[in-house]
Amino acid sequence: MSDAFAKVTLAALVLAFIVIVVGAYVRLSNAGLGCPDWPGCYGQITAPDDFHEIQKASEIFPDRTVDSGKAWKEMVHRYLASTLGLLILISAFLAWKNRDRPGQQVLLPLLLIGLVVFQGMLGMWTVTLLLKPAIVTLHLVTGLLTLSLLLWLVLKHNGLFSDIGSFSPGLRKWARLALAVLAVQIFLGGWTSTNYVALYCPDFPTCQNEWWPETNFSEGFIFIREIGINYEGGILGKEAGTAVHLAHRIGALVSLFVIGGLAIALMVAGQVTLRKFGYLIGSLLLIQISLGISNVLLVLPLPLAVSHNAFAALLLLSLVTLNYAINRSQISSQKRAGHNHE
C-alpha cells in the first residue's frame, strides 16, 4: 500500500468537508457574487483590497458595488476548492503509479478527477449565471458526492470494517433507504437555500400560522429558468417559495422516521459496532433537526445556518460509512461462502 496515497486521500477528505462548510458560509452570507468574474476576482487573482484596486475594479465592473469583505470570502473558498482539486489530482497520479500493487484502487481516484473538474465548471457557472438555483444546488450536491466518494476511497484503502460481521437483509435495505432519503432531503435543503426561501415559514410547527398555507409546487420546482437574471435573494413568489419550504419540512419528517428508525434498530442490535453506529446516527439526526427548527425560530442566524449544512454533511458521512460497512460485510460473507463451498 502507498502511505503517500493514504495521506493524500485523507487530506482531501478533510479538505472537502472544509470546502463544503466554507461554501455554505459564503452562500449564506450572501457572498456568492462577491467576485462577479471567474476564476479571478474583478480581473485579478486576489480580492481587491486597497483604494486603487477597488477603484480599478469599479471601473471594470461599473454596475457592481465592490465589497472587499464578500470578495475575500469568495476567493478563500476558491483557493480551498483549487487545493482540493490538486490533492485529488495527486491521489489519482499516485493511484496510477501504484496500480500494480495489490489492493490499490485506480478507477475511483480517476473518477474523482472528472467529478472535481465538473465541480469546478459548476463553480464557474454559479458566478457567470448569477446564482441560478439549479446550478448552485447541483454545485452543492456534487460537492457532497465528492466528499462521500473520498470517504469510501479512504475506508476501502485502509481496509476498515473488515471484521464487522454480518447484517440482516432487512437492515441492509433500511440503511440504503436511509441514505437515499437523506440524499433527497439534502437536495431539498439545497433548493430551499439557493432559492432563499428558508424563512418563508417563519413559525414552527405551523407555516404562516397555518398547517397548510397556499402553495404552488409547479412554480417552486421549475429547474430550467431564464439565463441573465440575477437570482441573488431569490425570485420565487410567496406560494412557490412556501411550497419549496414545506417540501423541505416534509422531507425532514420522512428523514426523522426513516433515519431515526434505523438508528433505533442499530442501537438495539447485538453487535457493539452496530450500536455505536446507531448512537452516532441518532445523535447527528437529532442535532440536525434541532438546528433546522432553531434556524426558523431564531430567523436564520449565520452560525446556526452554516452548522445546519455541516451536520448534514456529517450525517451523510455516517450513513455512507454504515453502507460501506454493510457492503464490506456482504463481500466477506460471499468469500467465506465460496471457501466453504470449495
- Active-site residues: which are they? 74
- CA-to-CA distance for 124 and 322, rounded, in angstroms? 34
Tell me the H-state helices in the chain: 3-28, 51-60, 68-97, 107-128, 133-157, 169-194, 217-220, 238-267, 272-297, 302-341
Instruction: Give the length of the chain.
Output: 342
Who's near 215: CB < 8 A, 6+ residues apart?
239, 240, 242, 243, 246
DSSP one-letter code for 211: S
Q: Are 317 and 148 in contact (CB under 8 A)?
A: yes
Q: Give dist(CA 338, CA 254) in Å, integer.
A: 39
Determine the Cα–Cα distance for residues 153 and 159; give it in Å rounded to an integer: 10
Closest to 290 (Cα-Cα) out of 319, 259, 265, 256: 256
226-241 in b/e form (b: 16+ CB < 10 A) is: eeeeebeebebeeebb
Alpha carbon distance 20, 80 (integer Å):
10
Q: At what angle do helices 68-97 and 133-157 cross, to 10 degrees?
A: 40
Distance from first CA to last CA of the chain, Å, rounded? 29
Q: Which residues pair with 41 in a beta bridge?
A: 44
Q: Which three cell numbers stand for residue 170?
A: 432487512
Query: Residue 93, class by beta-carbon neighbours within 10 Å (0-12 exposed, 13-18 middle, 19+ buried)?
Result: middle
Task: For Cα atoms 161, 310, 12, give the angle at the middle one, nearest 5 degrees.
Answer: 55
Cβ atoms within 10 Å, residue 211: 8
